[in-house]
């Protein structure tokens, strides 16, 4: 199972709202040898770390593709660039963010790119809640903890709410 996180918190000049931009990005995946199998509902989340930037729209999607992890990550970055994302500062506002969360049971060796599973997959409510909704039985390939268990561990004040 291939899992990605998708998010945005800035309006896009062509696609509009962050949610509409994320929907357009999912459609763009289909043009790059990637099939979107399912998507969680959309969530609204506070920026991490806390700041005065706009809140994010986030979801998790499961994919199917013959692309390997490196090629898939490159495709995700190309879509971000095509949508106008500029990487100038960590945690900056963005028109689109696509993260490769997990690629099957793959676990990267130290220093290997991409890092799998995503190193912060279990720490971010904006990933954990949509992940637990989409695939509650998914298990972290290193810790063995399920998505549902990760969601149960979240603080009630996690700064995220479902908007769909």
User: How confident is residue 33, by pLDDT bands cut at 50, 70 and 90?
Assistant: confident
Q: For the chain, how many structural domains are there in total?
A: 1
pLDDT at 89: 75
Question: Is residue 155 over pLDDT 80?
Answer: no
CB of 45 closer than 8 Å to CB of 126: yes
> What percent of the chain has a predicted confidence (pLDDT) above 70?
99
Q: What are the φ and ψ backbone dihedral angles of 119, each rounded to 5 degrees?
A: -65, -20
pLDDT at 157: 64
The 3-state DSSP class for residue 73 equals: helix
What CA–CA distance (Å, rounded) separates 38 from 64?
A: 10
Question: Is residue 42 over pLDDT 70?
Answer: yes
- For the entire predicted model, the pTM comes to 0.94
Alpha helices in 7-146 (DSSP H): 18-30, 69-82, 125-134
> What percent of the chain has a predicted confidence (pLDDT) above 90?
81
What CA–CA distance (Å, rounded) separates 44 from 114?
A: 27
| Mean pLDDT value across the chain | 93
Q: Which class for 56: exposed (0-12), middle (13-18), buried (19 or more C-beta within 10 A)?
A: buried
The domain in which residue 106 lies consists of 2-162
- Please, what is the end-to-end C-alpha distance for the chain in angstroms? 24
pLDDT in tens, 63-99: 999 999 999 999 999 999 999 998 777 878 899 999 9
Alpha helices in the chain (DSSP H): 18-30, 69-82, 125-134, 147-152
Find the CATH number of the domain harbouring 125. 3.30.70.560
């Amino acid at each position: 199972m291939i899992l990605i996180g998708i998010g945005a918190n800035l309006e896009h000049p062509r696609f509009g709202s962050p949610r509409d931009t994320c929907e357009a990005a999912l459609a763009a995946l289909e043009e790059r040898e990637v099939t979107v199998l399912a998507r969680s509902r959309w969530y609204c989340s506070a920026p991490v770390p806390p700041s005065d930037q706009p809140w994010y729209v986030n979801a998790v999607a499961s994919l199917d593709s013959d692309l390997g992890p490196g090629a898939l990550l490159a495709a995700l970055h190309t879509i971000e660039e095509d949508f106008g994302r500029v990487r100038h500062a960590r945690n900056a506002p963005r028109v689109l963010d696509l993260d490769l969360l997990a690629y099957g049971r793959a676990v990267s060796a130290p220093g290997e790119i991409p890092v799998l599973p995503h190193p912060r997959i279990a720490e971010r409510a904006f990933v954990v809640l949509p992940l637990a909704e989409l695939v509650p039985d998914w298990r972290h390939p290193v810790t063995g903890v399920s998505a549902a268990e990760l969601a149960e561990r979240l603080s009630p004040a996690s700064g995220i709410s479902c908007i769909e």
